[in-house]
A and B are shown apart, each in its own frame.
Chain A
Amino acid sequence: MTDVTRRTEQDIALVADVLVLGGGPSGAWAALTAAENGAKVVLAEKGFVGTGGATAAGNTTMIHAGPHSDAREAAIKRRLSIAHGLADRASIERIIDQSFDCLNKLADWGYHYPVNDAGASYRGSLRGPDYLRFMRKKLRKAGVTILDQSPALELLASDGAISGAAGINRLTQQRWSVRSAAVVISTGGCAFLSKALGTNGLTGDGLLLSAEAGAELSGMEFTGQYGLAPAFSSITKGIMYFWATFTDEDGNVLERKGDRQSVVAQNLLKGPVYAVIDQADARLQEGMRRGQPNMFLAFDRKGIDPFTQRFPVTLRYEGTVRGVGGLVIDRSGATNVPGLFAAGDAASRENFVGAVSGGGGPNATWAIASGVWAGQGAGAFAGRIGRLHDHRPAGGLGGAGLKPSEKPNASVDAHTFIEAAQQEILPLDRNFFRTGPGLQASLGRLDTAWRSARAHLSADGLPASEIVRARETAAMLANARWIVASAMARRESRGINRRLDFPNTDPMQQRRLLSGGIDRVWVRPNVIERAIAS
């Protein structure tokens, strides 16, 4: 382990009670909550707090349902009915109620919600750029130190507990380190640079950092998640396709029985698929335009009228962003590693959404609730261990892509490894529709790539953007291996683990699959534990 306590003058070295990594909604709520509870908080964000992550670019619909309301009961019943037996009522209730409070707080603090035709303040949707800019101001006021353009590269540990993190500033090239009593991982999901909207900074870094510390994951097989977009664009906004008619090259209407995405995926494997949003009346068309302006950028700038003209569509991979898997956490957001907490897309959402996508409300609702809990949990943990951490010697845990295990080899290129990971994860016939032999072969190729990257990949001495890219590359390879190994171990189809060789759901497999490991990936079944995060 390298000693990170010695620093040059140009470097940034800070001390905090709580360090939050990732400034999307979950990180923003974690940082704000910890600060409001009296902790000294640093928030380090790869991009910019306000534009980074999936919410900033995408906008999010929310579950906003008050205690004892019919809407709340309906939302709970709906979640339970589609979760394939892996969610539980107590968790769902706790998440919805926590998020409800926070959505109302936003109004009290001055976020302007629209008023609907019934004259009521409508709180079931947040505009990403506005919401996160608003949170940024709130964080500033609460005294949180924000480090923008500052991706974390590794966790620091002292005596078996997490004691901070270190990274680099992409604009100034400065190294930074923050010594803290607790760290919150809120780095979002992993979409493998698929160009799904707002996801290219989401390369699964937080999961790699945590797994290097021995953290456990769950639900990594529920990642056969793709977003529908006009083929040429990044706009993976699926909601408008609820009013779409899909056709093939010859104009034949595609049957839409069952899962809309599966139909599109099956047909995309045969040829181009087109959509036209021909089932929306004038009032709804105006609602779409004035509710989600980003949906129309692709059309207006290409001169397409999506309500009358058909346009080609594609499916872009979203993985754990709108899928399910991530770090296993308890009620306080704590992982199994002392001092390490997680929230949002970086954490598993199985208790809430089971085996299906949490897009369209649950995920953004979870980001708020889990963020608040991780902020509380990390703050309380810091309070218990006090400022002792200032003096603990700290070592960096980072390996692959940062500190190669053998001699760095300049001919070993990050882009080759990125392509290697993408080739196993992005194609519909590998990861939307899965088969045992296909997964087995994928895992073999990924393990080979991992061993080579682990031994030789390094960007030491190169500009910050390359150093970050090398680490992201390692993270994507690691995430790919957990995804494929977990999908192999679930020998059934359940939710978004679609196994062509096991098309049915097997009641005997109604339990979670835990995973983890760095050089040796492991997967093991777990009986459903009500205690986890409920």
Chain B
Amino acid sequence: MIELVSHDRCITCQACVSACPENVFDKREHAPPVIARPDDCQTCFLCELYCPVDALYVSPLADAHETVDEQQLIESGLLGSFARAMGWKRAIPGGTENDLTYRMFEDGRVST
């Protein structure tokens, strides 16, 4: 579930407030949004893609909250790792041309 809005990084664009499908954030004037309804988070990671400055971190734990350390997330390369793996940059989509999903259909175990 969502655990971090980095106040260091956030440019208060409020994009995550509009884009979160579960209405987890509340917007604030000229300030980083607040995680107002943390338990409504569905752990979909999509807010990370919509943040232009990699200020958000979604923990993979779907049923529990955990405290995270921002510095450690930066050092381990996890802050913004989803957007980088996808090829989205500054909240602009990209990278579908590098999708190698077709390899999963090569050995015949899976068919549509």
**Least CB distance, B75 to chain A, in whole angstroms:** 14
**Least CB distance, A266 to chain B, in whole angstroms:** 22
Q: Taking the complex as formed, is B10 at the interface, i.e. its CB lies under 8 A from any CB of chain A?
A: no
Closest residue of B by beta carbon distance from A298: B60
**Inter-chain contacts of A62 with B (CB < 8 A):** 112
**Least CB distance, B41 to chain A, in whole angstroms:** 9
**Inter-chain contacts of A301 with B (CB < 8 A):** 59-60, 78, 81
Q: Taking the complex as formed, is A428 at the interface, i.e. its CB lies under 8 A from any CB of chain B?
A: no
Q: Taking the complex as formed, is A15 at the interface, i.e. its CB lies under 8 A from any CB of chain B?
A: no
Q: Taking the complex as formed, is A300 at the interface, i.e. its CB lies under 8 A from any CB of chain B?
A: yes
Closest residue of A by beta carbon distance from B22: A200
**Inter-chain contacts of A325 with B (CB < 8 A):** none
Give Cα distance in the complex from A371 to B103, angstroms: 29
Q: Is the CB of B98 within 8 A of A234?
A: no
**Inter-chain contacts of A63 with B (CB < 8 A):** 112
Are A284 and B22 CB-contacts (below 8 A) given A114-B97, A232-B61?
Answer: no
**Least CB distance, A398 to chain B, in whole angstroms:** 20
Q: Is the CB of B60 within 8 A of A48?
A: no
- Residues 25 to 70 of chain B near chain A (Cβ within 8 Å): 27, 37, 40, 42-47, 49-50, 58-64
Give Cα distance in the complex from A242 to B106, angstroms: 12
Q: Is the CB of B99 within 8 A of A125?
A: yes
**Least CB distance, A287 to chain B, in whole angstroms:** 3
Q: Taking the complex as formed, is A50 at the interface, i.e. its CB lies under 8 A from any CB of chain B?
A: yes
Are A360 and B110 CB-contacts (below 8 A) given A112-B97, A232-B60, A233-B62?
Answer: yes
Are A129 and B61 CB-contacts (below 8 A) given A63-B112, A296-B85, A297-B82?
Answer: no
Q: Taking the complex as formed, is A307 at the interface, i.e. its CB lies under 8 A from any CB of chain B?
A: no
Q: Is the CB of B22 within 8 A of A47?
A: yes
Closest residue of B by beta carbon distance from A201: B21
**Inter-chain contacts of B45 with A (CB < 8 A):** 57, 294, 297
Chain A interface size, as a band, is: 35 or more
Contacting chain B: which of A191-199, A207-215, A336-344, A389-397?
Answer: A191-199
Q: Taking the complex as formed, is A94 at the interface, i.e. its CB lies under 8 A from any CB of chain B?
A: no
Q: Taking the complex as formed, is B101 at the interface, i.e. its CB lies under 8 A from any CB of chain A?
A: yes
Give Cα distance in the complex from A242 to B60, angstroms: 22
Q: Taking the complex as formed, is B71 at the interface, i.e. its CB lies under 8 A from any CB of chain A?
A: no
Q: Is the CB of A465 within 8 A of B37?
A: yes
Q: Is the CB of B78 within 8 A of A232?
A: no
Q: Is the CB of A291 within 8 A of B100?
A: yes
Q: Taking the complex as formed, is A102 at the interface, i.e. its CB lies under 8 A from any CB of chain B?
A: no
Closest residue of B by beta carbon distance from A151: B23
Q: Is the CB of B101 within 8 A of A171?
A: no
**Inter-chain contacts of B19 with A (CB < 8 A):** 48, 50-51
- What are 17 A-B contacts with C-beta separation under 8 Å? A51-B19, A51-B50, A52-B21, A57-B42, A112-B96, A114-B99, A114-B100, A114-B102, A198-B42, A232-B61, A234-B42, A234-B43, A287-B102, A290-B98, A293-B85, A297-B45, A297-B60
Chain B interface residues (CB < 8 Å from chain A) = 17-23, 27, 37, 40, 42-47, 49-50, 58-64, 78, 81-82, 85-86, 88, 93, 95-107, 109-112
